[in-house]
Amino acid sequence: MIDWTEEELDSPRTAEHRRVLDQRMIREPIRYLKPRAPLTLTPDDPVEAAWRLMREHRVGCILVVEQERLVGILTERDLLLRIDGPQSDRPLRDVMTPEPETLSPDDPIVYALNKMSVGGFRHVPLVDTEQRPVGIVSVKHVVDYIVDFFPNEVLTVPPSPEQRHTWHGRDGG
Protein backbone atom coordinates (compact mmCIF):
# COMPACT_ATOMS: atom_id res chain seq x y z
CA MET A 1 0.00 0.00 0.00
CA ILE A 2 1.25 3.49 -0.85
CA ASP A 3 1.70 5.83 2.09
CA TRP A 4 0.89 9.43 1.12
CA THR A 5 2.20 12.18 3.32
CA GLU A 6 -0.13 14.78 4.81
CA GLU A 7 1.37 17.37 2.47
CA GLU A 8 0.71 15.20 -0.59
CA LEU A 9 -2.89 14.67 0.48
CA ASP A 10 -3.45 18.40 0.97
CA SER A 11 -1.46 19.83 -1.94
CA PRO A 12 -2.93 20.62 -5.36
CA ARG A 13 -1.95 18.20 -8.10
CA THR A 14 0.23 19.29 -10.99
CA ALA A 15 0.20 17.56 -14.36
CA GLU A 16 3.49 15.85 -13.48
CA HIS A 17 2.37 14.83 -9.99
CA ARG A 18 -1.25 13.81 -10.42
CA ARG A 19 -2.49 10.68 -8.71
CA VAL A 20 -4.41 8.25 -10.88
CA LEU A 21 -7.74 6.85 -9.75
CA ASP A 22 -7.28 3.11 -9.97
CA GLN A 23 -7.70 -0.07 -7.93
CA ARG A 24 -4.91 0.99 -5.57
CA MET A 25 -6.65 4.23 -4.66
CA ILE A 26 -9.85 2.55 -3.46
CA ARG A 27 -7.73 0.24 -1.35
CA GLU A 28 -6.24 3.16 0.57
CA PRO A 29 -7.50 3.58 4.17
CA ILE A 30 -10.72 5.46 4.80
CA ARG A 31 -8.76 8.04 6.81
CA TYR A 32 -7.55 9.40 3.43
CA LEU A 33 -11.12 10.62 2.90
CA LYS A 34 -10.64 12.97 5.87
CA PRO A 35 -13.77 11.85 7.71
CA ARG A 36 -15.29 14.30 10.16
CA ALA A 37 -15.44 13.87 13.91
CA PRO A 38 -18.77 12.42 15.00
CA LEU A 39 -21.47 14.37 16.78
CA THR A 40 -22.95 12.22 19.51
CA LEU A 41 -25.93 12.11 21.84
CA THR A 42 -27.30 9.45 24.20
CA PRO A 43 -30.29 7.17 23.60
CA ASP A 44 -32.29 9.14 26.19
CA ASP A 45 -31.74 12.53 24.52
CA PRO A 46 -34.84 13.89 22.75
CA VAL A 47 -35.20 13.91 19.00
CA GLU A 48 -35.44 17.70 19.13
CA ALA A 49 -31.86 17.88 20.49
CA ALA A 50 -30.61 15.75 17.60
CA TRP A 51 -32.50 17.82 15.04
CA ARG A 52 -31.04 21.06 16.43
CA LEU A 53 -27.50 19.64 16.53
CA MET A 54 -27.74 18.33 12.97
CA ARG A 55 -29.09 21.64 11.73
CA GLU A 56 -26.51 23.71 13.63
CA HIS A 57 -23.60 21.66 12.26
CA ARG A 58 -25.18 21.05 8.84
CA VAL A 59 -24.74 17.28 8.99
CA GLY A 60 -26.94 14.39 7.96
CA CYS A 61 -26.57 12.17 11.01
CA ILE A 62 -25.86 11.92 14.72
CA LEU A 63 -24.24 8.92 16.38
CA VAL A 64 -25.95 7.60 19.48
CA VAL A 65 -23.61 6.42 22.23
CA GLU A 66 -24.03 4.76 25.59
CA GLN A 67 -21.06 4.42 27.93
CA GLU A 68 -18.87 5.73 25.08
CA ARG A 69 -19.90 2.83 22.78
CA LEU A 70 -21.87 3.23 19.56
CA VAL A 71 -25.41 1.90 19.95
CA GLY A 72 -27.19 3.62 17.08
CA ILE A 73 -27.32 6.25 14.38
CA LEU A 74 -29.97 8.86 13.69
CA THR A 75 -30.08 10.04 10.08
CA GLU A 76 -32.12 12.53 8.11
CA ARG A 77 -33.97 9.55 6.68
CA ASP A 78 -34.90 8.39 10.20
CA LEU A 79 -36.24 11.87 10.98
CA LEU A 80 -38.35 11.92 7.82
CA LEU A 81 -39.75 8.40 8.13
CA ARG A 82 -40.10 7.83 11.87
CA ILE A 83 -41.31 11.06 13.49
CA ASP A 84 -44.02 13.65 12.91
CA GLY A 85 -41.82 16.73 13.37
CA PRO A 86 -38.56 18.03 14.82
CA GLN A 87 -40.25 19.24 18.03
CA SER A 88 -40.52 15.67 19.26
CA ASP A 89 -39.59 14.92 22.84
CA ARG A 90 -39.38 11.21 22.04
CA PRO A 91 -36.05 9.67 23.04
CA LEU A 92 -33.58 8.84 20.29
CA ARG A 93 -33.73 5.15 21.19
CA ASP A 94 -37.29 5.09 19.77
CA VAL A 95 -36.33 6.40 16.32
CA MET A 96 -32.62 5.65 15.79
CA THR A 97 -31.29 2.81 13.70
CA PRO A 98 -29.79 0.46 16.29
CA GLU A 99 -26.45 -1.30 15.87
CA PRO A 100 -25.46 0.36 12.58
CA GLU A 101 -22.84 -1.21 10.36
CA THR A 102 -19.43 0.29 11.04
CA LEU A 103 -15.91 0.44 9.70
CA SER A 104 -12.50 1.43 11.02
CA PRO A 105 -10.57 4.47 9.72
CA ASP A 106 -7.90 1.98 8.62
CA ASP A 107 -10.28 -0.15 6.53
CA PRO A 108 -9.92 0.29 2.75
CA ILE A 109 -12.12 2.89 1.02
CA VAL A 110 -13.63 0.12 -1.10
CA TYR A 111 -15.44 -1.18 2.02
CA ALA A 112 -17.09 2.21 2.54
CA LEU A 113 -18.10 2.18 -1.14
CA ASN A 114 -19.55 -1.31 -0.72
CA LYS A 115 -21.62 -0.37 2.34
CA MET A 116 -22.87 2.79 0.66
CA SER A 117 -23.75 1.05 -2.61
CA VAL A 118 -25.07 -2.30 -1.39
CA GLY A 119 -26.54 -1.09 1.90
CA GLY A 120 -27.83 2.22 0.58
CA PHE A 121 -26.10 4.14 3.37
CA ARG A 122 -25.11 7.79 3.00
CA HIS A 123 -23.14 7.73 6.26
CA VAL A 124 -20.98 5.01 7.80
CA PRO A 125 -19.79 5.35 11.40
CA LEU A 126 -16.10 4.76 12.05
CA VAL A 127 -15.20 3.10 15.33
CA ASP A 128 -12.08 1.96 17.17
CA THR A 129 -11.50 -1.59 18.40
CA GLU A 130 -13.65 -0.89 21.49
CA GLN A 131 -16.62 0.26 19.33
CA ARG A 132 -16.12 3.89 20.37
CA PRO A 133 -17.03 6.34 17.58
CA VAL A 134 -13.99 8.06 16.09
CA GLY A 135 -15.45 9.49 12.88
CA ILE A 136 -18.12 9.39 10.24
CA VAL A 137 -17.60 8.97 6.52
CA SER A 138 -20.25 10.21 4.10
CA VAL A 139 -20.95 9.98 0.39
CA LYS A 140 -19.69 13.58 0.15
CA HIS A 141 -16.27 12.48 1.43
CA VAL A 142 -16.09 9.83 -1.30
CA VAL A 143 -17.21 12.27 -4.01
CA ASP A 144 -14.66 14.87 -2.87
CA TYR A 145 -11.94 12.20 -2.95
CA ILE A 146 -12.84 11.27 -6.54
CA VAL A 147 -13.05 14.92 -7.63
CA ASP A 148 -9.52 15.39 -6.31
CA PHE A 149 -8.34 13.09 -9.13
CA PHE A 150 -10.09 15.18 -11.79
CA PRO A 151 -10.06 18.77 -10.50
CA ASN A 152 -9.86 20.51 -13.88
CA GLU A 153 -12.41 18.23 -15.50
CA VAL A 154 -14.96 18.53 -12.69
CA LEU A 155 -14.47 22.01 -11.26
CA THR A 156 -14.37 23.90 -14.57
CA VAL A 157 -17.51 22.59 -16.25
CA PRO A 158 -20.13 25.14 -17.35
CA PRO A 159 -23.04 25.86 -15.01
CA SER A 160 -25.35 23.66 -17.09
CA PRO A 161 -24.91 20.95 -19.76
CA GLU A 162 -26.71 23.16 -22.30
CA GLN A 163 -23.80 25.63 -22.10
CA ARG A 164 -21.04 23.06 -22.72
CA HIS A 165 -20.40 24.18 -26.34
CA THR A 166 -20.37 27.91 -25.65
CA TRP A 167 -18.75 28.04 -22.19
CA HIS A 168 -15.45 29.92 -22.06
CA GLY A 169 -14.73 29.58 -18.37
CA ARG A 170 -14.94 32.20 -15.71
CA ASP A 171 -13.97 35.73 -16.63
CA GLY A 172 -12.19 38.03 -14.24
CA GLY A 173 -10.65 37.16 -10.94
**Tell me, what's the pLDDT at 84?**
74
| Amino acid letter, 171 | D
74: alpha, beta or left? (left if phi > 0; alpha if psi -120 to 50): beta
* Contact call for residues 123 and 75 (beta carbons, < 8 A): yes
Q: Average pLDDT per run of 10 along the chain, which is 173 residues long?
A: 48 53 84 94 95 95 97 93 76 94 96 94 96 96 87 79 71 50
* Contact call for residues 79 and 47 (beta carbons, < 8 A): yes
Q: What CATH class is the domain 21-152?
A: alpha beta
**Tell me, what's the pLDDT at 1?**
39
**Tell me, what's the pLDDT at 13?**
47
Find the radius of gyration of the CA atoms of the chain.
Answer: 19
